[in-house]
Structure 1
């Protein structure tokens, strides 16, 4: 006999299956119909955008003045050397430290330099076979790197101001999560086949175990939502739309870095001076399409990201929200 519920069903089961190196499947169930997607999508976004990892943020090579230079006795020019360096995944042995780690290296040829050669008492390398450079006979390669913990993606332009002048700034890809996808399946609960199961497929680069990354994403979700546990009566209301404004602006005054855009798409916006999600939300479809160097692929990527956030391109905002958002963006950008 069917009954009228007064509260949604609380999931009771979570299973973890290791399906490869640094890869797991996590099944969570049963959820009421529609609840699985509500939770799965933000967890996936947090896994990709907020998992902490280490990355090289700056490089100094002896005898090199800039990133388009060459190195005597090295097969690679500086530019491909940098690309190879950014592909190497570092793991700090300095527990709990968020400070920059400066490491000096010196190698003499002939040799093929790989990630394994960069390991020392401060840093581990998770992809030891990753190729870096070929040093010819009688050549010496001396270089220093700065490694730091962080989240998401930080362009070299933002890093330039936090490193010594004699270092080359690098685009930093901190995210240790290589793959985070999910599927929604139906499960049977008390003869009701409409309940749902979330099956996450998570893979990392070895800096952090997949299940640890999953738990950290859940912790971040809880901390982000804790604002709603505050006494909302303490929020001053100056108009009937003020509460709506307070809630919406918290999401929109976030840098576009958190969208995990491709480098091409991010650079297109960055060169135009667009720094915050709110700026994209305020733009019409034509305004966004007419951004300099905005191709169709980049536009579609941004449109999909905004749709995922619940703010499709050309979203209709109340005049109060639009006005307040514009003022806040102008203020924060100086």
Structure 2
């Protein structure tokens, strides 16, 4: 006969293994059966959506009026320069500041990388990332606004907040590159039905993996704190699926996913323009896209999840609504 309990046991062990820089594996145990996934899944979602990071939100380039312009002597056009800039990961040195503006001046010949953007106010955690190539007659002067934030904010929502003359950028703040978990069985007092969470967390260097998990825990505790307060039951009207709103990432161009060139080119050739077109496809449909291999599919699925989109929750009616709205956007 099973031992009668009045409350579940609490895990007592945590093991932290450093895999490499900014990559750690955590083993947490023992959980009673069913409790491990109840803890692991929301923490993973919060790691990907609520961890604080930094991103450039606007750039002003001397002599440039819009993102389709060019700079004399710079090999890349402004659009490509902006893509490269968004792939560089920054960190404000003063943790008390939410925003800094930094200015740069470069002359060619020179190949610019993230390392060239380190200043008194910001660090660059991806110093090797390429930015631009300047010819011998090139002069590049630009100012950059770097902001602290969470999740993803499209340039359309930032445009009204930046000074005149600046080009607003899509801001991808999330510093967590990977957050995976496995649930494994573990033996406790001859009982093989206890469980262990194995967390695999990798960041871009803006924050350490363990600190990212601590931040996710704080957010989760904050979200649950309301249940400790006095609760009053009130009638409320049902709300529409927030994913289908006008500002949903589903209706943003696939550029916001910052995919690798191979993945992006395959989708472009297949005529896929919007994130929602990917979200409504199942794994088999993704595999049928020409030149889209397993690595590219894994990249696409991971990027979609980073935007907090749970494709498994989409009903056939949701998918039809998404498809109809995208068809309308395409005209």
Kindly indicate whether the alpha-carbon contact (under 8 Å) linking 1:179 and 1:203 is maintained by their aligned counterparts in 2.
yes
Range 299-308 or range 4-13, more displaced: 299-308
Cα deviations across residues 5-42 of structure 1 (Å, max 9, x unaligned)? 22111111111100011000011111111111111111
Residues 109-138 of structure 1, C-alpha deviations (whole Å, 9 max, x = no match) = 111001000001001000101110011102
Moved over 3 A (4+): 251-267, 292-296, 300-308, 310-315
Note the C-alpha offset of 1:259. 8.4
TM-score in terms of structure 2 length: 0.76
Q: Is the 8 A contact 1:23 1:210 kept in 2?
A: yes
User: Post-superposition shift, 1:253?
Assistant: 6.5
TM-score (norm 1): 0.76
Alignment correspondent of 1:264: 253
- Residues 19-70 of structure 1 deviation map (CA, whole Å, 9 limit, x = unaligned): 0110000111111111111111110000000011110000111111100011
Deviation at 1:192, TM superposition (A): 1.0
**Residue in structure 2 matched with residue 166 of structure 1 by the alignment:** 165
Task: Give SS of 1:107's match.
Answer: strand
| C-alpha distance in 2 between matches for 1:73 and 1:266 | 26
Query: In the aligned structure 1, how far is the partner of 2:108 from the partner of 2:255?
Result: 39
* 1:298 corresponds to: 279
Matched, 1:92 2:125: no
Structure 1 residue 258 displacement after superposition: 11
Structure 1 segments unaligned to the other structure (5+ residues): 268-291, 316-334
Aligned positions of 1:198-217 closer than 5 A: 198-217=197-216
Shift of 1:264: 3.4
Q: Over aligned residues, Cα RMSD in angstroms?
A: 3.0
Runs of 5+ unmatched residues, structure 2: 257-272, 282-300, 319-331
Question: Displacement, 1:165?
Answer: 1.9
Task: Give the CA deviation at 1:296.
Answer: 4.9
1:156 maps onto 2:155 in alignment: yes
Find the counterpart in structure 1 of residue 72 from structure 2: 72
* Conserved 8 A contact 1:306-1:312: no
Report how far residue 305 of structure 1 moved.
3.8
Larger deviation, residues 296-305 vs 183-192: 296-305
Match of 1:56 in 2: 56
CA distance in 2, matches of 1:50, 1:266: 22
